[in-house]
Amino acid sequence: MQYKRFTGTIAFFALFIIMPLILFNLNSAKCYSYPANYSASSSKTLLDYTAETIKRNFEDVMTEHEIIKILNKKGIKKYSSLSFPFSSKNQKLKVYFIKIIQPDGNIININLNNLKTVTAPFNPEAPIFSNQLLKTVQIPGLVKGSILDYKFRSIVLKPYMKNNFFTEDYFGGLSPLKKSVYKLTIPDGVYYRYDEYGFKEKPEIIKNSKNITLIWSLWNRKKLTSEPMGPGESFIVPHVMVSSVKSWNDVAGWYANLTKDIIKPGKQIKNFIKKITASKKTKLEKIKSIYDFVAKRIRYVGYEFGIDGYKPSDVNAIFKNRLGDCKDHATLFASMLNQIGVKAYPVLIPTTEIPNMNPNIPTPFVFDHEITAIKLKSGKFMFADTTSNVTTFGDLPTMDQGRNVLIIVGGKAVIARTPIFPPLKNYINDKEYASVYTNGSIKVRAAIIYGGAYDMYKRYLYSSISEKKKRNGVLKNIMSIAPDAKLINYSFENGNSMTKPYIEKFSFTAKKYAGKNGKKIMIRIPLRTRNELAKITALKKRKYPIKFSYNFSEKTAVNINFPKNYKIMYIPQAVIFKNKVGSFKTAYSIKNGALIFNSIFSVFGYKIKPANYAAAKKLFNYTIKTLASQVIIFNER
């Protein structure tokens, strides 16, 4: 099942594993994948009913009733089991019934004694330990046309933010929906505000002497279809958010109170800071040395138990144990910077996997990560994320870019937005030297430099995959250039560096790379095709943005030597193309008998709006067509 409501804790899945779509990634045979839900619906939601009651003591009681019709084998597989998450310390869960209504009218009642309590699955890539449990049960007997009907209740016993509640509800998932109702009851006199996302249905409001009830209803909604490289489910499914928190200062004050007794470094940390900064002459060098220590030496492990889902550990314990989650990282980093006279503050941030923070709805509910803000002499802030041990200081993981954030300065709130770096920040610089022979074979040596998002991704791969997989990645790349390519050698530089860009070098030979017709030889320059671009713009139109999640550029330089007695017969015309989405430029020149090709491809790909989809299509198709051109040489003798 899909659990509709988040727990309200800061999840902090911040072990940074950046997986950007790298258009020209040397290790990527596939550059994108269509989401599983891009095909026909596997089920239809007949009823999605949630009744939530906030008690006077802010106990939160939520009852959900779901009725789902199974449409095909995918639906059978999807609902072959149900899992109900709950917190073992601050939440009670009761399942009222689970039943299956078969197409012939026969009813199968699932024995609730078969519900097993298990711990939530452990993700080895983000080692977060929590007190979240699952009540899970197998659902046998489902066939096409079966109706799954179940009802449960969960009670959050105590709010984490005293005398406040914050909640949200999603109206079904992506499947077609017949009826969805969210009913929220709040004690009369309790302040609240709400906002709606993806629809404009205003709630029915019922008042009595004790309570206010808001009821949102949605009827007969068609299947929501996501799109390749589009926003995720949480962005396109209609939902509402409700909060009783009056101001962001309330959130900041609450968080500052949680951390006031744990941010003071002890003698051990102070002595360590003096040691690692002693040889550093400038303030920036000192900051970088502390950043490198926290990013490289504090292992990411999260402990999400009760209030510890919000509250960082004591900085001295983090330092001693050399481990912590993102809020621990951010707190330790800020505490150490403060010791060298640098003003640094915790930053609550929503990553790009969830909708951006709405500045009009104060709540800690919207944050799933924490980083650090450093105040510059200009009064502006720069941001750093030490949970990514592959991110150079001054850069940011793509998941942190362009996000509305809450900076906590002396218990007060500062609302800001993290930067979106320009295309030249996330780059691939590809330099290739090639020789073509009379039989059409080719010999190539290449050096590729990566920056920004690409640099992070490559360094992550370098540190996480085996030497065999690294070599296989290079092999896939050269074989995409020529199927019969033979690898001569390869190497990687700066894989563990936090200051120098990642570099790949390799060389190979390939038979029959160039086409031959009598005395003519046809060569494609550059050596690679760019068919991935066509796949990205395969749809006729889009409802949602294209989300690369970062701006990017690629610079290619090819120096190619020809066989003796061969002269250039045809060179494609140089081009310059530019529109709202990006630009593409090529140039050809001849030097010492060699042909030199240069191109720059640049895209504002952080988010390409549907209104600019036609421009993206035009840019990408133009680039593909241009790069498909060939150089023709001929033998003068």
Residue 443's domain is classified under what CATH number? 2.60.120.1130
Tell me, yes or no, whether 387 and 307 share the same domain: yes
Specify the pLDDT at position 134.
87
Helices 467-481, 453-464: inter-axial angle, 10-degree rounding: 130
Specify the pLDDT at position 118.
86
Q: Are 371 and 330 within 8 A, CB to CB?
A: yes
Angle at 554 between CA 552 and CA 559, to 5 degrees: 175
Distance CA 10, CA 367 (A): 6
The per-residue b/e assignment along 545-556, b for 16 or more CB within 10 angstroms, e otherwise, is: bbbbbbbbbbbb
Give the pLDDT band (50/70/90) at residue 632: confident
What pTM value is reported for the model?
0.88
Tell me, yes or no, whether 242 and 256 share the same domain: no
Nearest to 254 by CA among 59, 367, 58, 413: 413
Judged on CB neighbours under 10 Å (0-12, 13-18, 19+), 318 is buried
User: Can you tell me the mean pLDDT for 74-92?
Assistant: 90
Q: Establish if 349 belongs to a structural domain.
A: yes
- Alpha helices in 445-595, H assignment, sequence order: 453-464, 467-481, 532-536
Q: Establish if 19 belongs to a structural domain.
A: no
Tell me, yes or no, whether 95 and 205 share the same domain: yes
Q: What domain range is 630 assigned to? A: 423-635
User: Can you tell me the mean pLDDT for 501-524?
Assistant: 89
- Total domains in the fold of the chain: 3
User: What does the pLDDT look like over 304-323, one tens digit per residue?
Assistant: 655 667 789 999 999 999 99
Specify the pLDDT at position 547.
92
Give the pLDDT band (50/70/90) at residue 131: low
DSSP string, 574-620: P-EEE-SSEEEEEEEEEETTEEEEEEEEEE--S-B-GGGHHHHHHHH
Specify the pLDDT at position 390.
92
Specify the pLDDT at position 457.
93
User: What does the pLDDT look like over 520-567, one tens digit per residue?
Assistant: 888 888 766 666 788 888 899 999 999 999 999 999 999 999 988 888
Tell me, yes or no, whether 398 and 542 share the same domain: no
Flag whether pLDDT at 10 surpasses 50.
no
Specify the pLDDT at position 535.
82
Q: Establish if 16 belongs to a structural domain.
A: no
Average pLDDT, the chain: 88
What whole-number percentage of the chain has pLDDT above 90?
70
Task: Find the CATH number of the domain harbouring 192.
Answer: 2.60.40.3140
Flag whether pLDDT at 214 surpasses 50.
yes
Specify the pLDDT at position 498.
85
User: What does the pLDDT look like over 394-427, one tens digit per residue?
Assistant: 999 999 999 999 999 999 999 999 999 999 999 9
Tell me, yes or no, whether 218 and 261 share the same domain: no
Q: Are 606 and 453 within 8 A, CB to CB?
A: no
Q: Establish if 291 belongs to a structural domain.
A: yes
User: What does the pLDDT look like over 574-610, one tens digit per residue?
Assistant: 999 999 999 999 999 998 888 999 999 999 999 999 9
3 state SS of 357? coil
Tell me, yes or no, whether 572 and 451 share the same domain: yes
Nearest to 297 by CA among 201, 363, 389, 423: 389
Q: Among 28-32, 267-271, 361-365, where is mean pLDDT lowest? A: 28-32
Give the pLDDT band (50/70/90) at residue 27: very low
Flag whether pLDDT at 354 surpasses 90.
no
Flag whether pLDDT at 334 surpasses 90.
yes
Tell me, yes or no, whether 323 and 456 share the same domain: no
Instruction: Enter the tokens of residue 611.
Output: 């209104």
Q: Which residues contact 268 (CB under 8 A, 6 or more apart)?
A: 316, 319, 320
Tell me, yes or no, whether 208 and 276 share the same domain: no
Judged on CB neighbours under 10 Å (0-12, 13-18, 19+), 189 is exposed
Report the Cα 394 to chain-centroid distance in Å: 19
Specify the pLDDT at position 328.
93
Better-scored residue on pLDDT, 528 or 376: 376
Specify the pLDDT at position 19.
34
User: What does the pLDDT look like over 139-164, one tens digit per residue?
Assistant: 999 999 999 999 999 999 989 899 99
Specify the pLDDT at position 501.
94
Specify the pLDDT at position 4.
36
Give the pLDDT band (50/70/90) at residue 121: low
User: What does the pLDDT look like over 479-500, one tens digit per residue?
Assistant: 888 888 999 999 999 998 888 9
Task: Find the CATH number of the domain harbouring 299.
Answer: 3.10.620.30
Flag whether pLDDT at 28 surpasses 50.
no
Q: Establish if 7 belongs to a structural domain.
A: no
Specify the pLDDT at position 120.
66
Flag whether pLDDT at 34 surpasses 50.
no
Distance CA 6, CA 12 (A): 13
Tell me, yes or no, whether 149 and 289 share the same domain: no
- The Cα-based distances of 84 to 155, 307, 453, 563 in angstroms read 13, 21, 37, 69
- The Cα-based distances of 517 to 439, 482, 595, 633, 634 in angstroms read 11, 19, 20, 10, 9
Specify the pLDDT at position 529.
62
Domain boundary among 185, 213, 247: 247
Domain boundary among 247, 268, 291: 247
Specify the pLDDT at position 629.
83
User: Can you tell me the mean pLDDT for 227-240?
Assistant: 92
Tell me, yes or no, whether 269 and 358 share the same domain: yes
Flag whether pLDDT at 631 surpasses 90.
no
Count how many Cα atoms sit within 13 Å of the Cα of residue 439 in the half-sphere of its side chain. Answer: 6
User: What does the pLDDT look like over 458-481, one tens digit per residue?
Assistant: 999 998 889 999 999 999 888 888
Flag whether pLDDT at 88 surpasses 80.
no
Q: Are 180 and 224 within 8 A, CB to CB?
A: no
Specify the pLDDT at position 383.
98
Q: Which residues contact 595 (CB under 8 A, 6 or more apart)?
A: 525, 559, 560, 562, 568, 571, 588, 589, 631
Q: Establish if 136 belongs to a structural domain.
A: yes
Domain boundary among 379, 407, 435: 407
Specify the pLDDT at position 353.
82
Q: Among 95-104, 191-200, 418-427, where is mean pLDDT lowest? A: 191-200
Q: Are 48 and 2 within 8 A, CB to CB?
A: no
Instruction: Enter the tokens of residue 17.
Output: 């594993």
Q: Which residues contact 466 (CB under 8 A, 6 or more apart)?
A: none
User: Can you tell me the mean pLDDT for 46-64?
Assistant: 97
Specify the pLDDT at position 265.
94
Q: Establish if 18 belongs to a structural domain.
A: no
Q: Establish if 576 belongs to a structural domain.
A: yes
Q: Are 477 and 528 within 8 A, CB to CB?
A: no
Tell me, yes or no, whether 306 and 201 share the same domain: no
Specify the pLDDT at position 303.
62
Tell me, yes or no, whether 217 and 97 share the same domain: yes
Q: Among 58-67, 259-268, 526-535, where is mean pLDDT lowest? A: 526-535
Distance CA 191, CA 208 (A): 16
What whole-number percentage of the chain has pLDDT above 70?
90
Specify the pLDDT at position 123.
54
